[in-house]
Structure formats: C-alpha cells, structure tokens
Amino acid sequence: MPRPFISVEALGKAWPGQQPVFEELWFGVERGEIVCLLGHSGCGKTTVLNVLAGLEEPTSGGVLLDGREIAGPGLDRAVVFQGHALLPWLTAMGNVAFAVRSRWPSWRAAQVREHAQRYLDLVHLTGAEHKRPAELSGGMRQRVGIARALAVEPKVLLLDEPFSALDALTRGSLQDEVLRISAQTRQTIFLITHDVDEAVLLSDRIVLMTPGPRARVAEIVVNTLPRGRTRADVHRHPHYYRIRNHLLDFLVNRAREEPRPPAAAGALTPPLVRPGLEEVELPAAGV
C-alpha cells in the first residue's frame, strides 16, 4: 500500500512525568485533500499540529511528508495560528513580505512586494496593505495570516483552530475563502477544529480523536458530501444531518465511553466510517 502524502505513524507525545497526551496515532492526508482533526479540547489536537509544523518533537512515532520524515520546522509547511500571530509593528504587506523574504531571500524588494500583493489580493485584502494588525478587524487579521502562510507556497497548509476566535458571520466568510482557495490551488490542508459544522463544511475526511490523556484516533469519517460544498447549500444535502449527527454523537456520547481496546491489529488503519452510505454505528434515532 503506498504511503499517503502526509503519513502520521504511531505518533505519541508525553510531557515528562505525565501520562501521554496521545499515543499510537495513525492517519494520513492525501495530496490536495482537506483533512480535519476533530476532538474535545485537551486531547492534544494542537500538539499534533505542532508536531506536524515541527515546533514540537514527538516522544514516539513520527510523521512523513512526501516520503521524508519531519524533523523540525520547514518552509514546506505553513501554519495559520489560532491567535493570528501577526507581527504588530509591521503592516499587512510587511507581514506577508516577511514570510516571502524568508522563503526567497535572494529576491529583490519589488519582486517580494509583487508576490506578497498577489496573496493579499487572493484573500481579498486589496487596499488594506498598509494597515497594521491593530487597525484591522479580527477576520482581516486572520486573512493576513492565511495570506502569509500561502505566500511561501507550502506543500501543506496547517490551520490551528483558525476561526475559533471570530464571530459566526466572519467565520463563515473565511470558511468560504478556504474552500475557494482549496478549489483554486488544490492546496493540501490539515486543520484542527472542535466545530462540527466547520468540519463537515471544509474537510474531505474527518479524523476523530478520543479525549486525552492517552488520546487515540477513534475513527476516520469520510465526508460523504461531495466536493464543491458551499455554506449556503451544504445543509440541503441528504447526507448532511447523518454525518453531522454522527460527529455530534461521537463528541457528546461515544468519545467518553471509550477506551477502545489498545492497539490491536486495527490500529494501523483506524475504522473508516461513511455516514449516509453505510449504516455504521448510527443509532436509529439519528437518521
């Protein structure tokens, strides 16, 4: 079986003197796919993302990206941080240009600006280039964060609960943005969320994590809604409530009642679930 583009293999992380936050995580992300990691807060979702970003070392297992093991941060991956993490003394343009110059140190200033401008345009920030983060709204700041991440042309875009601090309307328009960019660029995206609707709207597959400590991948849910989902009509699809209920049911009821048997033969490939296409573990009331 060929390895997926990103292959998370037996990943585990423990802080010294404590129970492992998570262990024996197995899952993969294919090229051009949007995969989302869904779980309760405290199950170590952000730590998984930080390991992928190279900001933290796993205590066991590892991650392969395009066949090579991830060791430390790299410009083949770009992170959109939860709290935007823009440098407040730089303008929107300055923040994006900072990333561009890091990626292509030999570029001339005009070339850097032009490249940065292209990505600011992509996230609809044309005209706000010279504003500092303090002068931008929360949604616009996160757009700059996305532009900064995309501008280095990474193989993988890592999003750490990127819209959790935004109001519902702004969150919606940014989700549309991510879908549009993904359709336009076929960018591989891995994102962390605790928002079921966000998971259903954005991702092709949803990795469900049990609560920590000793969190694991409970199952991987294939989004049975076809690509081309939009916020306006995703809820009209006949499978929408099946998959949504399945995820909610997991978060509210089933996540707590695990633990599942530890790493059996099935650990390598956590159970794959296709809500709507097959009636797996779906309570009748939920249909």
Nearer to other proteins, 75 or 263 (CB): 75
77 touching other proteins, by CB under 8 A: yes
Please pick, from the candidates 5, 22, 26, 81, the single residue that binds other proteins as defined by CB under 8 A: 81
Which residues, in sequence order, are bridge partners of residue 177? none
Any contact of residue 99 with other proteins (CB under 8 A)?
Answer: yes
User: Which lies closer to other proteins via its Cβ, residue 118 or residue 237?
Assistant: 118
DSSP 181-196: HHHHH--EEEEEES-H
C-alpha to C-alpha distance for 276 and 186, rounded to whole angstroms: 26
d(CA 90, CA 162): 21
Contact with other proteins (CB under 8 A): which of 32, 42, 83, 266? 83
Q: Phi and psi at residue 197, in whole multiples of 5°?
A: -65, -40
Sheet strand arrangement including 60-65:
20-29, 6-14, 60-65, 68-69
Looking at the Cβ atoms of 147 and 206, the one nearer to other proteins is 147
**Site stretch for other proteins (CB under 8 A), options 26-34, 49-57, 198-206, 265-273:** 49-57
Q: Quick one: 190 or 250, whose CB is closer to other proteins? A: 190
* Interacting residues with other proteins between 159 and 188 (CB under 8 A): none
Indicate the residue among 98 and 241 with the shorter CB distance to other proteins: 98
Dig out the tokens for 135 from the structure. Answer: 């002068």
Sign of CA dihedral 259, 262, 266, 267: positive
Exactly one of 21, 29, 43, 79 binds other proteins (CB under 8 A); that residue is: 79
DSSP 177: H
Spatial contact of 229 and 276, defined as CB atoms under 8 Å apart: no
Q: Which of 40, 103, 155, 194 binds other proteins (CB under 8 A)?
A: 103
> Going by C-beta distance under 8 Å and a sequence separation of 6 or more, which residues neighbour residue 23?
11, 12, 13, 14, 60, 214, 215, 216
Q: Is 14 in the site for other proteins (CB under 8 A)?
A: no
Q: Which of 10, 14, 55, 165 binds other proteins (CB under 8 A)?
A: 55
- Shortest spacing between CB 91 and other proteins, in angstroms: 11
Contact 265, 214 (CB under 8 A): no
Judged by the rule CB under 8 A, the positions of this chain that interact with other proteins are 53-55, 73-75, 77-79, 81, 83, 85, 87-89, 98-99, 102-103, 132-134, 152
